[in-house]
A and B are shown apart, each in its own frame.
Chain A
Amino acid sequence: MPPETPEPVLTGLLTVDAIEGGLARVELEDGSVEDWPLASLPRGVQEGDVLRLHVEAGDLTVEIDHAATRERRHTAQAQLDALNVVPPAGEIDL
């Protein structure tokens, strides 16, 4: 008898775009955005946090990936700082 095929384990990342009252607006890996109940996310979750999803045997767990959050913040801030370099002095005429 062949061994039973193990149930696939699903994982993924979410990014918290904003928290609006009892909802968290989260960005999925494909870039789309959904509203999730804040209560379904880990306690203490903050805007900008990267969340790691894990689905196994029908159970969903969500945890804050602090290392990924730090890395994202660092990379994104470096990109923006590079873009913002050399501010023009005085008034700007367009």
Chain B
Amino acid sequence: MRPLLALAALSFGLASAQTPGVLTIRFLDVGQGDAVLVTSPEGKSLLYDGGRSETRMQVLLKKYGVQSLDLIVASHGDADHITGLIPAVTLFKPKFFLNNGIAATTQTWSRLTQAAQQAGTQGLLARNQVINLGSVKVTVLPPPPGMPRDEQNVNSVGLLVQYGTFRLLMTGDSETPETQAWLKTYPASFLGPVDVYKSIHHGAANGDHLAWLQAVRPRNVVIGVGENNYGHPTAQALDLYKRMGAAIYRTDLNGTVTVTVQPGGKYAIAVERGPAVPKAATPATPPVSSPTRPTPATPLYRSCAEARAAGAAPLRRGQPGYNPALDRDGDGTACE
């Protein structure tokens, strides 16, 4: 059996199990839309967007053995991102619903907020904040001030997910005005490099652009895309990703794309089906999407004062900069 097929078979075999001790990220094959399921080593889960079909999401939640959800996130209010959140919130009654604070006028949006209300799920208006999904650090990138409130895409909520040295960045359907504002808000060292990056807006022409990607420096790009009338993903976006030397995964060709991250940050990427994905060709950086990828150096804080000054405290085991010497009670959290 060829290695890729073996990998795919392995992926099917483990479909309904959460591998203990690792962070699992699934870019779900929801057709044209986005839905990303993130499960921490402790079994805490978040669903970032839900795709455009309630039925399909129910099937996928069952297929991947989801037992609970702690947080759902609507990057923005478009139907191809929020529809599947309705059964998710109804079934699992997550504690929080993170959103951009701008209501859509569709019935789909109204049903989602009603379902959240009935489930007792608390809304969270996106702001500069950190949400700890167990030992996984999730940093919220709220829409920058000044974005027009009548345009959902440019008010997309982003998430930076960190576990050890591993970094995942997702920014919904944001467009150039929003990413330009984020470039002014965040230092390049915050935005990139990232090991895995969710393509903006399914590879639309108005999403990713060179200046943004030069800051993000994605090693692997996953495009949530299905049959569509919009021309997604565009040749323009695909060319940009290739220019960045990133390996490209597509849910329309590869099915659900699963990333497993070991403590420390080493990761592997498995596809459900489809052609082999060539490794990223960046001569200046180490190979990507390899389970044996070397772990880059992490900032190691010498004191809690230093960690606090950097805005990094408290530090949990598995997060960049965690230093066991500062974890005096050995409970996995330093500089409490």
Contacts and interface: CB of A to CB of B under 8 A. Distances in A.
Report whether chain A binds chain B: yes
Interface of A: 15, 17-18, 20-21, 23, 25, 27, 31, 33, 35, 46-50, 69, 72-73, 75-77, 79-80, 82-88, 90-94
Interface stretch (B93-101, B254-262, B291-299): B93-101
Given A83-B117, A94-B44, A27 B132 contact: no
Q: Which 10 pairs, one residue from A and one from B, show the smallest C-beta to C-beta distance?
A: A83-B123, A76-B103, A84-B123, A72-B105, A80-B103, A94-B70, A77-B103, A48-B105, A20-B230, A92-B131
23 contacts: A15-B106, A15-B107, A17-B78, A25-B80, A33-B80, A35-B229, A48-B104, A75-B110, A77-B102, A79-B103, A79-B110, A80-B99, A80-B102, A80-B103, A80-B123, A83-B116, A83-B117, A83-B121, A87-B125, A91-B314, A94-B44, A94-B71, A94-B134
Given A21-B231, A76-B110, 8 more contacts: A17-B78, A17-B104, A17-B106, A25-B78, A31-B111, A33-B52, A87-B125, A91-B314
Label chain B's interface by main secondary structure.
Answer: mixed
Interface string B152-177: 11000000000000000000000000
Given A17-B78, A84-B125, A47 B151 contact: yes
Nearest to B230: A20
Interface string B38-53: 0000001010000010
Interface string B203-235: 010000000000000000000000001110000
Contacts of A92: 96, 124, 129-132
Contacts of A17: 78-79, 104, 106, 108
Contacts, number: 110
A73 B105 contact: yes
B105 A91 contact: no
Interface of B: 44, 46, 52, 70-71, 78-80, 95-97, 99, 101-111, 113-114, 116-117, 121-125, 127, 129-134, 150-153, 204, 229-231, 314
A56 to B, nearest CB: 25
A77 B103 CA distance: 5
B133 to A, nearest CB: 5
A75 B105 CA distance: 9
B96 A50 contact: no
Contacts of B204: 20
A86 B96 CA distance: 12
B150 A47 contact: yes
Residue of A69, A86, A90, A92 with most chain B CB atoms under a 10 A cut-off = A92
Residue of B107, B108, B114, B153 with most chain A CB atoms under a 10 A cut-off = B107
Contact of A18 (B101, B125, B131, B152): B152
A83 B79 contact: no
Contacts of B229: 20, 23, 35
A12 B95 CA distance: 37
B106 to A, nearest CB: 5
A87 B99 CA distance: 12
Nearest to B333: A93
Contacts of A76: 103-105, 109-110, 113
A52 to B, nearest CB: 14
A17 B153 CA distance: 11
Contacts of A15: 105-107
Given A76-B110, A80-B99, A83-B113, A33 B79 contact: yes
B152 A27 contact: no
Contacts of B111: 31
Nearest to A85: B123
A94 B78 contact: no
Residue of B123, B131, B133, B314 with most chain A CB atoms under a 10 A cut-off = B123
Contacts of B114: 79
B116 A91 contact: no
Contacts of B153: 18
A50 B101 contact: no
